[in-house]
Structure 1
Amino acid sequence: MAFQCQRDSYMKEFVTSVESCRPAELKQEVNGKMQTFKGFNVMLQDTVLFPEGGGQPDDHGLIGDVPVLRVTRQGDGAVHFVSSPLEEGQEVQVKVDWERRFDHMQQHSGQHLISALAETLFGYKTTSWELGRQRSNIELDTLSVKPAQLQVLEEAINEKIRAHVPVNVQLLSIDDPAVDKTQTQGLPDDFAGPIRMVNIEGIDANMCCGTHVANLSHLQVIKLLGTEKGKKNKTNLTFLVGNRVLKYAEKKNNIERSLVSLLKTGPDDHVEAVDKLQKSVKLLQKTNLSLLRDMAVLIAQNFKNNPQRGNFFSLHKKDGDNEFMRIIANEINTEETLIFLTVGEEKGPGLFVLAGPSGAVAELGPQVLEMLKGKGAGKNGLFQGKANSLARRAEVEALVQQHSKHLFKREE
């Protein structure tokens, strides 16, 4: 069966009737996590909403005023998942989310055109494709595509778009002479048809269930974004079609305008300006690290030169790193001093070092780790790691200081 959406991909509304409505559940990813929704599976006499298939995602839309959250194929019918029940036998109006539908039409027809010309021009066959939410990919059966080939391919593609080449859809019986047997390989043995053929006049003829534009001019423009290495000696080609190209250009334009404001230079000078900034930042970072190391040595020496220094030293510094803390610990005699050092946000994440007599450090280390909700390890009188929260730093400091009093009092 060919659905109404396949007979006329440009139809936005359609009146049909409800054949069945059954309670169901739908598992969908929301913000990276799978959630289960309770609702109903609705079968219609016919539908203007495309069920997922042929590499193309399903349509969204409404049945009456009830949102359709998912459309899937079941045999020769389509199942619409909705949140509210619909009465069996009632006549309903089905509306398609046209912006989503037309976007899918552009990307799918664009894929057919790109694949056809990639094979015609260079012999690169398409082995699979993905219609993504923001950009789409074609997997080509080749180790690589040269930049010059990519340019030739893009020019040839857009030339066909400018030529207003018609795109026709035919429904053929499986024994029709117009059906190439090689194209039907992979169909079930009991498949009875009809077979749906999408023809880009003079360019390509392919068996396909998806929704397509009626003329290549409706693609507007195609932009090939580039290639990257794929699986098993394949190459992935990333592309945008039609309205996605316009959105991409608008996004890049906004970024360019922001960079003009930030860098105080014209677009042609952005790369040079950023390169100079990066070099300046690296120099500043190198200088800052050197000063930080010198500061660590001075902090340790200042403590050692204090006649009333005692046997405990603690320090927190917002800006610092592991090396900063290790320099301090190495400069101070840890056999005679318990040292607790932290760097990072006062009540946020950070780094810590606990140093001193190996027995005391081994005993205190796990407690410090637990109080700072961190991860770390230690040996030979040095325990260090990451703290998920420094909110209890003061408590840890008091614990280590109290331990040092008992430790060195016993030694005396």
Structure 2
Amino acid sequence: MTEKLYETMSHLATCKATVVSCERSGEGFDLILDKTVFFPEGGGQPSDVGTVNGERMSEATIRDGIVHHFVDREFTAGEEVECVVDMAVRFPRMQNHSGEHIVSGIIHRLYGFNNVGFHMGSKDVTLDIDGELSDEQIRNVERLANKAIAENVRVTVHYPDPDEANKIEYRSKLDISEGLRLVEIEGYDMCACCAPHVERTGEIGIIKLLEHIRYKGGTRIHMLCGFSALEDYHGKFRELSRISEMLSAKKEECADAVENLKTQLGDTEYKYRNIVKAALLAKAENAERTDGDLVFIVSGEFRDGLLELVRAAVPKCGGICAAFAGDDGDYSFIMGSNTVDLREKSAEIRSALKAKGGGSPDMIRGNSAATASEIHEYFNI
């Protein structure tokens, strides 16, 4: 068994340890020590990273009570080494994990729901609750969670024996006969957990519930705490500042400015569509009547107006009215006719014009990889 210093001293960043064994594992080595400050992956939290005698320790795992450290070089059994945890990585994780306990504890106490899923990712912390929470309830949870931070209450680790454990109310009851580790946040939560936590809630700094969605009959919450929340705020504030500058609007007025811009854009698009429609209808009106086929090839900006063009021009031809929009090798098309069964002819058209599509006897549509000259050649124009 490895002596796990991280279980009782979460702020301890260094220790001296003795090498028990070191064996080749993949491209590195599996190092086992008599004691360790490195938390192995578990309970939804990634493992610590750091160094052993200055060499990178990239991951720690635990099997049968033994912590395995994955390092880049070999060490000798019996050798004394210095272990150093990267606290710039661990401490924000401690903040996030302790914050999650507070949030889950409050939800359980107020609404009776349980945390049934927890994941600490690179961008946020995700927890799944087995009941639906309203917007108002989420705001209440966030307010109370930050109240817990302001109170700076103690976070205590307990190791109750089985008899004591049976008398304690705690979340995440596991089928453990011995070695149960309970993390208590005074007045807010008691939960079985293997990870290092802050010593007082004030160390968390802030708890921010970023968003919540309905998920599998319950609620999925995305949240951040402490330095992670601060980094998230910095990033979003930078983006808001950029948007504010682009819109020439105050930061607190950006939403209204975007709404106005959307309205203006909608008006512009409406006017543009009318201009496109008028231009295509003019083409149809100016086309000479023919007993044969009538073909229009226009630029891609007119794609949305092909239907109006074909409908207006079909009466002017005795064959097929075909309208193409785009460039050589990438055309959208619509074809209509009052005299030709286009559904029967579609196989021939697809083959000749490298096309895909289909439709009804009087109208087909699709895409073509043909060139303008190939289109003209097919229609003998």
TM-score interval, normalised by the smaller of the two chains: 0.7 to 0.9
**Which residue of the other structure, out of 64, 83, 91, is the alignment partner of 1:75?**
64
> How far did residue 355 of structure 1 move?
6.3
**Which residue of the other structure, out of 240, 249, 252, is the alignment partner of 1:265?**
249
**Which residue of the other structure, out of 373, 376, 379, is the alignment partner of 1:398?**
373
Query: Which digits, 9 at most, give the CA deviation of each residue in 1:161-191, with x for residues without a partner?
Result: 1222111223344455686387685325xx5
Query: Which digits, 9 at most, give the CA deviation of each residue in 1:80-134, with x for residues without a partner?
Result: 345x442342444333332221121011101111122223334343333332322
1:315 corresponds to which residue?
A: 297
**Does 2:124 match 1:142?**
no
Q: RMSD across aligned C-alpha pairs, in angstroms?
A: 3.3
Q: Which amino acid aligns with 1:273?
A: A
Partners of 2:227 and 2:328 in 1: CA distance: 47
Q: Which amino acid aligns with 1:107?
A: N
Aligned 8 A contact 1:362 1:378 in 2: no
Q: After superposing the two structures, state which structure 1 stretch, 40-49 or 218-227, moved more.
A: 40-49
**Does 2:182 match 1:197?**
yes
> How far did residue 318 of structure 1 move?
3.0
Aligned 8 A contact 2:58 2:70 in 1: yes
**Which residue of the other structure, out of 316, 341, 346, is the alignment partner of 2:324?**
341
Secondary structure of the 1:11 match is: coil
Structure 2 gaps of 5+ residues are none
Aligned 8 A contact 2:117 2:127 in 1: yes
**Does 2:214 match 1:239?**
no
**Does 2:212 match 1:227?**
yes
Secondary structure of the 1:328 match is: helix
Aligned 8 A contact 2:153 2:202 in 1: yes
1:216 corresponds to which residue?
A: 201
Partners of 2:167 and 2:151 in 1: CA distance: 27
Return the TM-score normalized by structure 1: 0.77
Cα 1:247–1:382 change in 2 (3 A) is: same
2:278 corresponds to which residue?
A: 294
Aligned 8 A contact 1:135 1:238 in 2: yes
Partners of 1:47 and 1:113 in 2: CA distance: 27
Query: Which digits, 9 at most, give the CA deviation of each residue in 1:252-289, with x for residues without a partner?
Result: 32223223212222233223222222111111111111
Partners of 1:126 and 1:184 in 2: CA distance: 8
**Which residue of the other structure, out of 71, 74, 82, is the alignment partner of 1:93?**
82
Cα 1:118–1:360 change in 2 (3 A) is: closer
**Does 2:157 match 1:169?**
yes
**Does 2:168 match 1:180?**
yes
Return the TM-score normalized by structure 2: 0.83
2:23 corresponds to which residue?
A: 21
**Which residue of the other structure, out of 238, 263, 268, is the alignment partner of 1:284?**
268
**Does 2:104 match 1:123?**
no
Partners of 1:144 and 1:159 in 2: CA distance: 20
Aligned 8 A contact 1:362 1:379 in 2: no
1:35 corresponds to which residue?
A: none
**Does 2:59 match 1:57?**
no
> How far did residue 218 of structure 1 move?
0.4
Q: Which amino acid aligns with 1:161?
A: I
**Does 2:141 match 1:157?**
no
Partners of 2:351 and 2:74 in 1: CA distance: 61
Partners of 1:287 and 1:400 in 2: CA distance: 31
**Once the two structures are aligned, what percentage of the paired residues are identical?**
22
Partners of 1:381 and 1:58 in 2: CA distance: 66
**Paired residue total:** 372
Aligned 8 A contact 2:309 2:323 in 1: no
Aligned 8 A contact 2:115 2:128 in 1: yes
Aligned 8 A contact 1:342 1:353 in 2: no
Cα 1:79–1:325 change in 2 (3 A) is: farther
Q: Which amino acid aligns with 1:241?
A: C
Q: Which amino acid aligns with 1:287?
A: K
Q: After superposing the two structures, state which structure 1 stretch, 265-274 or 213-222, moved more.
A: 265-274
1:324 corresponds to which residue?
A: 305
Query: Which digits, 9 at most, give the CA deviation of each residue in 1:56-101, with x for residues without a partner?
Result: 122233344544444332221233345x442342444333332221
Cα 1:203–1:337 change in 2 (3 A) is: closer
Partners of 2:329 and 2:205 in 1: CA distance: 51
Secondary structure of the 1:320 match is: helix
1:34 corresponds to which residue?
A: none
Cα 1:94–1:350 change in 2 (3 A) is: farther
Secondary structure of the 1:327 match is: helix
Aligned 8 A contact 1:40 1:85 in 2: yes
Aligned 8 A contact 2:16 2:83 in 1: yes
Secondary structure of the 2:35 match is: coil
Secondary structure of the 1:53 match is: coil
